[in-house]
Amino acid sequence: MRLLLIEDDRMIGESVRKGLRQDGFTVDWVQDGRSGETALLEGVHDLLLLDLGLPGKEGIEVLKTLRKKGNMIPVLILTARDALADRVGGLSAGADDYLIKPFDFEELAARIHAILRRKSGRTETLMRHGPVTLDPASRHVTLNGNPVNLSAREFALLEALLDRPGTVLSVPQLEEKIYGWNEEVGSNAVEVHIHALRKKLGADLIRNVRGVGYVIHKVS
Ligand code: CA
């Protein structure tokens, strides 16, 4: 899953980005509201982590503009302890949740997973597909109950496909899911990862739609 972080505090920004990357998220980070809006135009992020006190354009204004344009990306607000009015204002402006600084990193990750789960309409924490399960929080994948070792990119690809069963995702769309800014995408990278996933999880799970992309079909 690919996240956008808008946070002007360098220390918080660095540590959140580092921690979330270790947790397997793809994270892009900008430090002011306007740059955040520009980044959101790409439409590639699954969730926005939004600080409220920002230079250029306040977080709450960024959020209001987003929602006014009909952009329904999930938003998790990061805010200071004493700003009750900000938290209420954020939620009524269309944020999905908020977290008070300083926050515990595990709580941040847990809330992100919960929001993403609600967004995709899943009621259980595990993603399931036939004999395959994927746990976004613990990053465990199993096949017929047996653990399967995936690389970080393989995991991200599988998660992107399982999150939208029945939807064909093109190679550029999949690249956008698993690579952030300034990360070099090797040629045929997606194909190489798909090949590895098929070897580990069976040839039938991920289907190629010639000339269009890849899909995991819904289990009927
Ligand atoms: Ca700030």
The pair of structure tokens assigned to 30 is 């900008």
**What is the 150 CA–ligand 1 centroid distance (Å)?**
36
Q: Grade residue 211 by pLDDT with cuts at 50, 70 and 90.
A: very high
User: Closest by alpha carbon to 139, among 22, 29, 59, 46?
Assistant: 22
User: Closest by alpha carbon to 44, among 32, 20, 30, 28?
Assistant: 28
Across the chain, what does the average pLDDT equal? 93
Q: At residue 82, does pLDDT exceed 80?
A: no
To 10 degrees, what angle do helices 59-68 and 84-92 make? Answer: 10
Measured CA to CA in angstroms, residue 47 lies from 2, 154, 211, 215 at distances of 7, 20, 29, 22
Report, as an integer, the average pLDDT of 11-32: 95
Give the range of the structural domain holding residue 68, as residue numbers without chain letter: 2-120
Q: Are residues 90 and 133 in the same domain?
A: no
**Which residue among 90, 120, 150 closes a domain?**
120
Q: At residue 72, does pLDDT exceed 70?
A: yes
pLDDT for res 45: 96
Residue 165, helix vs strand vs coil: coil
Q: At residue 81, does pLDDT exceed 70?
A: no
* CATH for 32: 3.40.50.2300
- What residues flank ion ligand 1 with Cβ within 5 A? 8, 51, 53
Task: Give a yes or no: residue 74 inside a domain.
Answer: yes
**What is the 42 CA–ligand 1 centroid distance (Å)?**
23
Q: Are residues 113 and 141 in the same domain?
A: no
Q: At residue 58, does pLDDT exceed 80?
A: yes
Residue 37, helix vs strand vs coil: helix
pLDDT in tens, 107-116: 999 999 999 9
Q: At residue 220, does pLDDT exceed 70?
A: no
**What is the 55 CA–ligand 1 centroid distance (Å)?**
8
User: Closest by alpha carbon to 2, among 132, 153, 185?
Assistant: 153
**What is the 54 CA–ligand 1 centroid distance (Å)?**
5
pLDDT for res 57: 94
Q: How far apart are CA 91 and CA 125, in angstroms?
A: 24
Q: Are residues 93 and 166 in the same domain?
A: no
Residue 3, helix vs strand vs coil: strand
**What is the 209 CA–ligand 1 centroid distance (Å)?**
45
Name the pTM for this structure.
0.88
**What is the 48 CA–ligand 1 centroid distance (Å)?**
15
